[in-house]
Structure 1
């Protein structure tokens, strides 16, 4: 038998229903239902900054950057040759002290790099100026510290280096004048991490390699596959940077492809 509900009973029923729905919605939010997945740090404190599915949180030219097979992919074709190096730039902040881990795979003809503590260049779309963990397909430069559009090579693979401020840094053109043979002249090699050719054997050709950057204060360390490839202490108070944008590059040159995956950041 169905009993009729009076006005007061109807009000109570509606209130109870709304309350139950609110509790259900709160519980669903708590469980993450219907919401974007929460980004959680791993046991070592690293947080993924690329989801393996989309370019969300990254800004770059879609002519060159896409997600393919779960990898952040930069590709230059015969129809899209570059006039300037172009980057895809992480939009989540401008890290200062941090550790970055990722894996890369690059074609033999490829030239790329991981920029950090970098500035955007207003006159060139998707361009960065700053420190770079160099990467190339022929493994000539992979592991070195190269400063894009600034002081050029700071440390070759296998070098432990202290960077000094050049004499008379305020003179017009002094920055360009202090770069010779694509290398910063006010640098001092203070130790060896091993011969460059021997370290090269630790890097896989056209296969996946892991990069680990440890960037703390003015101490910049580039590891590839667990091996320290370059070590820089930057004492150049005029030109060094304490924070800035993070991004990865495709370089002017022949058609190429570079892939990145498992990109994880731990801010210190």
Structure 2
């Protein structure tokens, strides 16, 4: 027993000597800032918001600004909205992609991330297309909603197929949608979303398969076989919704084309 203790003690002393000779060394489970920067580029993601300006984005600056590293959308009592407004990414029309970001929204807030969308004519800064829904009360956060289109495609907790058949929007949901499975109850998934605090959102959009993750948990899963209405590429934008005064913040917005 004494021999084993002496051996371990010797190993410890040797490790201390090596660390003193190399004061810049870090433990294996820690990353330096340089390591983190390399990882951020090696995984294929590109930062599409610089945290300081609205460069590369277009929207109504009465409602959108860059502040403290965040893209901020805000509705104030003296600037209420008449229609939903978006700030739109100007870097192309993503087709197959992954999007990662963090968001924080006030309780009265209503927002969302539009993708594979198109400009809706006649309304300034309006989009039509798929949306990862986000709201302050977390009643809808994580669901798949088609803005100015088929409306709700999948509620939170649903795995859905949209068949290539006729349908209509009824009670704010697409009647043709077929629920194939469950990802968990809406309430159990809601419990994983933080109120008035930072959450992560990860969208994986490939072919006709659309997945919305919040805090690394799959919240909705849509396979869109509806060749009449689906879109395979389009604009990316972030929404501020008509309603009471509110604020939403987005940061660390990262895009990877697949």
The interval holding the TM-score normalised by the smaller chain is 0.7 to 0.9
**Take 2:174 and 2:165, find their aligned partners in 1: how far apart are those partners?**
9
Partner of 2:43: 44
**Does 1:228 pair with 2:218?**
yes
* CA shift for structure 1 position 122: 2.1
Q: Which residue of 2 aligns with 1:123?
A: 122
The root-mean-square deviation of aligned C-alpha atoms, in Å, is 1.1
Structure 1 Cα separation of the partners of residues 69 and 40 of structure 2: 20
**Count of aligned residue pairs for this structure pair:** 220
* Partner Cα separation in structure 1 for residue 69 and residue 219 of structure 2: 28
Residue 41 of structure 1: how far off its partner (Å): 5.5
> What is the Cα deviation at residue 166 of structure 1?
3.4
> Where does residue 208 of structure 2 map in the other structure?
218
Q: What is the DSSP-based 3-state SS (H/G/I as helix, E as strand, rest coil) of the residue aligned with 2:187?
A: helix
The Cα shift of 1:68 comes to 1.5
> Deviations for 1:200-220, whole angstroms, at most 9, x for unmatched residues?
011000000000000000000
- For residues 113 and 169 of structure 2, the distance between their equivalents in structure 1, rounded to whole angstroms, comes to 21
Query: Highest CA radius of gyration, 1 or 2?
Result: 1
- Aligned residue number for residue 163 of structure 1: 162
Q: Which residue among 150, 156, 173 is the counterpart of 1:183?
A: 173
CA distance in 1, matches of 2:189, 2:120: 33
Q: Deviations over 1:44-71 (max 9, x none)?
A: 1100000000000000000000011110
**1:203 to 2:193 alignment:** yes
Q: Structure 1: where are the runs of 5+ without partners?
A: 1-39, 168-174
Which position in structure 1 is the counterpart of 2:93? 94
Please tell me whether residue 254 in structure 1 is matched to residue 237 in structure 2. no
- Residues 68-100 of structure 1 show CA distances to partners (whole Å, capped at 9, x for unaligned) of 111000000011110100000000000000000
Deviations 1:102-153 (A, max 9, x none): 0000000000000000000121010000000000000000000000000000
Inter-partner Cα distance in structure 2 for 1:190 and 1:95: 27
Separation (CA, whole Å) in 1 of partners of 2:226 and 2:169: 14
Report the Cα distance in structure 2 between the residues aligned to 1:132 and 1:165, rounded to whole angstroms.
20
Deviation at 1:43, TM superposition (A): 2.6
CA distance in 2, matches of 1:260, 1:151: 26
1:42 is paired with a residue whose SS is helix
The equivalent of 2:228 in structure 1 is: 238
Q: Hey, what's the Cα distance between the residues in 1 that align with 2:57 and 2:249?
A: 15
Q: Is 1:68 paired with 2:58?
A: no
- In the TM superposition, structure 1's runs of 4+ consecutive aligned residues that sit over 3 Å from their partners are none
Task: Map Cα deviations across residues 15-57 of structure 1 (whole Å, 9 max, x no partner).
Answer: xxxxxxxxxxxxxxxxxxxxxxxxx952311000000000000
For 2:28, the equivalent position in structure 1 comes to: none
Distance 1:141 1:192 in 2: 16
Instruction: Give the TM-score, by structure 1 length.
Output: 0.81
Distance 1:58 1:41 in 2: 22
